[in-house]
Amino acid sequence: MVAGAADFGLAQYYRANLANAVAAGAQYAHFTGTGVTTSNIQTVIQDAMYLPAGAATNLTVSFTGSSPGVTTAGWYCITGTGPTASASAQGRTCSDGSSAGYYIWFRATYVNNGLMSAILTNVNRTMSEQVTVRLQ
């Protein structure tokens, strides 16, 4: 029971840690603007995520959009409920009257093995955080 409680507490620690690391990556991307690179964002997230030795391989960062057809950073109109992203161009006006923005999407995923990995075998150990950042 003690090991299970320790693993549960550690999982919550990593979940909060992952959210903070993704927030740090989003903040970095926002302040850097359209010149930001995916490798720099990934480095910021990895540096902000406090991981035990050898656990860095359990953290992955992917750069894809949350809407169909959105696979990279670029100019998009974000409209509707949901919301949905549609490709646009700089200076264009979107269907809702707003201006197109330059967006980047990324998701960080961490697989928590826990202290006693046998205890967590029947539990979904994958946690992820996703963010959409308007860069301009």
pLDDT exceeds 80 at position 80 = no
* The predicted structure's pLDDT at residue 70: 63
The mean pLDDT value for 118-134 works out to 74
pTM of the model as a whole: 0.80
Domain spans, the chain: 2-134
* The predicted structure's pLDDT at residue 115: 66
Q: Which amino acid is at 57?
A: T
The whole-angstrom separation of Cα 11 and Cα 71 is: 30
CB neighbours of 110 closer than 8 A, spacing ≥ 6? Answer: 14, 18, 49, 58, 59, 60, 126, 127, 128
